[in-house]
Amino acid sequence: MLITGLGKEANRVESAKMIWTLIEGTNDLVQSVRSDGTFEYVNKSWLRTLGYTSEEFPDLHLSDVIHPAHLKQYQEYVARVMKGESLDSIEVTFVTKEGRIVHTEGNLYPRYEGSRMDGTQGFYRNVTERKQAEEIAREERIRTGFFVDIMTHDLTNINQEVLSTFELLLQTSALSPEMDELVREGLAETERAAALIANVKKLSQLHGEKTEIVEVDPADVLREASKDVQARFRDKRLLLRTNLSSGEYSVLANRYLRDVFYSLLDNAMKFDERKKVEVDVEAASISHTPFLKIQIKDRGCGLTDEQKDEIFLRIVDRRQSILGLGLGLTLVKEILEGFGGQINVEDRVEGDHTKGANFILLLRSSPTRQQKGGAV
């Protein structure tokens, strides 16, 4: 350290004072330990955090303050430092005089007695509160995941029973037209509940797991999703027009990309009352960017400007009134964000939302594969 405007000796004295002030004033734990494990120096924060007085610390040994479960690891650190290494960002767990655990992260350097290496110097930041918060969050995630898992599994079984019972009623009973309509509405509502449960489960999984991002052919995934959507709507026909063909594009995505296409096509079928539901899917690479743009244009009831603003909001930011629109598009957005994709929505016919929606997806193109398709 060089303090400008002072002579060499004065500079040395002032530098030492300044370093001393910094070390004594910091909230980090600073210790200088001899090679026999006894303490040469500890700062005020060290004493305060571990609960010892300045009279007590000279009689302490490292094994008195390092947590027994972590002592072996710490001794390995010391051995490496004594061979001349300097260790950064190591985790050291201390134990206080009262037995409390103190988690720290810091650096460990050699300590010199003249030119001879004789021990270690450690600088540690107390991260106990952060570690405890992380542990609480981890436990909460596991607990929530467990409840969601149990609830979705059992509710799905209940839905299967209700759905099948409605179907049995329709097949085997001579119902009046009013009752027939009521049972069919019940059946549709049960399916809506099932879709909501499936979306809650997927959202919960998205937050709880790390899914592998791989190269995917969007044409194959779209075809698979459209087949599944068609199977769900047996009284309607999905007329899908697309310029996507297998082998033309490759994008980076995870296994949930199918759910993105499924959800958007499912909405197209649900919100279009015609028996033949037309959907256009147009894909093109965006010049000079790593993105493939896919537009999914339906002819459903569309979204008002207010709905467009809110439909992709995260759950915590959504107003109660918008919750009725379900979780499908929230799920779509969260899935896409998981692999660096984006989604936006516009009117299919500009200025007239009643003519249907145009969902615009941006997916990251695979860098290892030359895209054959056209660019915009």
Partner 1 sequence: MVSVLIVDDDQLIHKVLERLLVAAGFRISGHAFDGAEAVEKFVQMNPKPDIILMDQRMPMMSGATATRQIQHLDPSSRILFLSADETVREEAMAAGALDFLTKPIRSAILFEMINKYASSANRSDS
Do residues 341 and 329 lie in contact, with contact meaning Cβ atoms separated by under 8 Å? no
**Closer Cβ to partner 1, 152 or 250, answer by number:** 152
Order of strands across the sheet with 237-242? 237-242, 276-285, 291-297, 352-364, 342-349
**Closer Cβ to partner 1, 105 or 191, answer by number:** 191
**Closer Cβ to partner 1, 100 or 207, answer by number:** 207
Helices (H), 55-176: 62-65, 71-82, 128-172
**In angstroms, what is the minimal distance from the CB of 168 to partner 1?**
6
Secondary structure class of 375 (helix, strand, coil): strand
Amino acid occupying residue 128:
T
**In angstroms, what is the minimal distance from the CB of 198 to partner 1?**
8
Half-sphere exposure of 48 (CA within 13 A, CB side): 11
**In angstroms, what is the minimal distance from the CB of 19 to partner 1?**
56
**Which residues share a beta bridge with 215?**
252
**Closer Cβ to partner 1, 231 or 316, answer by number:** 231
CA distance 63 to 162: 64
**In angstroms, what is the minimal distance from the CB of 206 to partner 1?**
12
**Closer Cβ to partner 1, 101 or 200, answer by number:** 200
- State the residues that interact with partner 1 by CB under 8 A: 152-153, 156-157, 159-161, 163-165, 167-168, 171-172, 190-191, 194, 198, 205, 231-232, 234
**In angstroms, what is the minimal distance from the CB of 364 to partner 1?**
24
Secondary structure class of 265 (helix, strand, coil): helix
Helix axes 328-338, 257-270, angle to 10 degrees: 160
Do residues 101 and 66 lie in contact, with contact meaning Cβ atoms separated by under 8 Å? no
**In angstroms, what is the minimal distance from the CB of 252 to partner 1?**
20
**Closer Cβ to partner 1, 140 or 167, answer by number:** 167
